[in-house]
Amino acid sequence: MRLEVGNSITKDPNLDRDRLDFGNGKIGVLFRALFFPTLIGMIFNSVLTLVDGMFVGHSAGANGIAAVNIVAPLFLLTTGVGLMLGIGASVVASIRLAENNVKAARIIITQAYIAGVVIIGILATMVLMGPKATVYILGCSPELESNAISYLVLLVPGLLFLLVECIGIMLIRIDGSPKYAMWSQLIPASLNIVLDYIMIFPMGMGIRGAAVATSISCGIGAFIVLVYFIRFCDKLRFYRLKISLTSLLLTLRNVGYMAKIGFATFLTECAMGVMIYVGNHAFMRLQGADGVAAYSIACFLFPVVFSIANAVAQSAQPIISFNYGIHRQERISRALRIALYTAVLCGTFVTIGLWGGAKPIASAFLSSDEPAYTLAVDGLPLFATCAVFFAVNITLIGYYQSIESAWRSICYTMLRGIIFIIPSFLVLPLILGIEGAWLAIPIAEALTLIVIALHYLFKVQN
């Protein structure tokens, strides 16, 4: 991320890298330069779970897709840790780069990676020591146990690779290479599609093949990210940390601060896990395994919806954080306005797409003669109403993260991901039946946006 006076973007012959002038370039030009590569990369990355669902649904039926959905919260938890540390590190590193403190920025990203590997390493070890207990903690039933364990055990080795990729893509963007970050997501996602098909169908591995394909593709993504930091990075590269008590305490302090800033994103991923967990129980109670299979399609689609919303937030983040570091409030406000307009547009597009595409989407996962197919076709248009609310909420939460207002971002994430979502799944089905279960997520997102808006208006008036 090298400052150039005059142009928003200049070219570097190394990697044909775009140099983004966050301090002086036109906000709209900067946002577009970040947004489109970020959007493409994040959508393709979400294909990792989406393709698993499609292929597993057609090879193992409703029970197979339900089993994958049971394990999904563990995948989301790992992604959450990676994004928490990645966003926290990118915000702090952006501010340090704005202050021309390159050494501090390098120390920050190194500490983020060390902490992430330790956390996910412990998690993976615990899961492999008790896979059966793990799937039942995640809400498994006896009929889904075999498939869920098979998928879980082979997915776990890919979790460390997934962590490396999640942290890396955030840092590569602020280093001035959004296109490289895009390819580090697009290549593994494309590979995952190919491997999924080969392992599930020609090789006949079924749900086990889906897990192996995902782990391999995550490994390739991690490799591409590490190659960047070793060979192609600009200012951000790994820094050799001192081995001493002082260095350890400094690392713990810095990791704690990064985690505080990025915790709202971790909660967002955990909230998706909560959404899946609570929703699985609600749909199991209302319509059994077929209900869970139908709801699973919405859960597979949700990472795509999240990717679009998160692309908006993460495209604005380097611009906002850098200008926050140099105290340019007018540029921060401009970036936020552009991000909010984009969020509304993207959310509207997603809602219309899900309204009109319920049947082809459901048929991509399930055979039309399965009961779960009809349930999904009826429910997906109701679920789709969450998209605009969700996109705006994620953009606003990302804004508060970017200006180091960690507690506000955490509070809003708690509202939409836990405080509102759990009562919605418990109460709305009692009032509206199965339609209430499908509307639980949209209602929770809408209530959160109302709270954010009221709080903002209250601050303005006072």
pLDDT score recorded for residue 142: 76
Query: What's the mean pLDDT when you consider all of the chain?
Result: 82
Average pLDDT over residues 2-12: 40
> What percentage of residues in the chain have a pLDDT greater than 70?
93
- For the stretch 140-172, pLDDT in tens is 777 777 888 888 888 888 899 999 998 888 888
pLDDT band at 2 (very low <50, low <70, confident <90, very high): very low
Q: Are 280 and 68 in contact (CB under 8 A)?
A: no
Rounded Cα gap, residues 223 and 218, in angstroms: 9
Per the DSSP assignment, residues forming a β-bridge with 9 are: 20
pLDDT in tens, 62-105: 677 777 777 877 887 888 888 888 888 888 888 888 888 888 88
Q: Please give the pLDDT value at position 16.
A: 44
In this prediction, residue 45 carries a pLDDT of: 67
Buried b (16+ CB within 10 A) or exposed e, 166-177: bbbbbbbbbbbb
CA distance 285 to 300: 20
- 48-60 pLDDT, tens digit per residue, is 666 666 777 777 7
Strands (E), 387-438: none
Label residue 395 by pLDDT band (50, 70, 90): very high
pLDDT at 293: 82
Non-local (6+) Cβ contacts of 217 within 8 A are 48, 158, 188, 189, 191, 192, 195
Rg (alpha carbons) of the chain, rounded to whole number: 21
pTM of the predicted model, to two decimals?
0.71
Q: Determine how β-strand 17-20 pairs with β-strand 9-12.
A: antiparallel
Question: For residue 320, is pLDDT > 80?
Answer: yes
